[in-house]
Amino acid sequence: MYKVFVNDKPLFLTNKVEKETDFQMFLLESVDIEQLIIKMFNNKVNKAFLYYPDEKAILKKMKEKLPVAKAGGGLVYNDKGKVLFIFRNGKWDLPKGGTERGEEMPDTAMREVEEETGVKDLEIVRKLPKTYHVFKRNGQYKLKITYWYEMKTSYSGKLVGQADEGIEKVAWLKPKEIKEALTNSYENIKLLFEEDTASVAK
């Protein structure tokens, strides 16, 4: 099952028929995806399931309905165990951005972290789960797939937010501050921390 966020509301891609209670279920094959997305953006639908029988082909089917934009980003730790956050559009977020032609995804992620925050000497520790959300650009809805990587750095220099990307603030946050920041963040960012905590606990 995939979880795609539309205006921070979950849209599940599933191959199981769920009994409807607090959500609506649609057939991925025949749904008017744009109408459903508009309803979710307008708070008329808060949670929805899209059903398709073949789990392996479900994401491919979704990509046929919406153009895809790919991005890379980083969950970056420094030597003190703090995590790198950016603040833009009134919310705490992690640095990420679109891939350039011919660029490998890990390189995209490291380049974007450096461009958006000024943090250098990045090293990828491991891959994290991809996240999915729908956004609108130039009047068209797109499915954004973000490839995330856990990174580490010993960088202790100045943090510089990329102003032309609307970044107002860049900060290293301690675990307690992260908890607070996540109350004003995006659902797909929260997922990464749930995943990260789960793997540390193993």
Query: pLDDT grade, residue 198 (50/70/90)?
Result: very low
% residues pLDDT > 90 (the chain): 90
**Position 199 confidence tier, pLDDT thresholds 50, 70, 90:** very low
Name residue 100's amino acid: E
Q: What is the pLDDT of residue 124?
A: 98
Does pLDDT of 38 surpass 70? Answer: yes
CATH of domain 71-201: 3.90.79.10
Domain ranges of the chain: 2-65, 71-201
The mean pLDDT of the chain is 93
User: pLDDT digits over 108-148, tens only?
Assistant: 999 999 999 999 999 999 999 999 999 998 899 999 999 99
177: pLDDT confidence band, cut at 50, 70 and 90? very high
Q: Which residues contact 146 (CB under 8 A, 6 or more apart)?
A: 70, 71, 72, 73, 96, 130, 131, 132, 133, 188
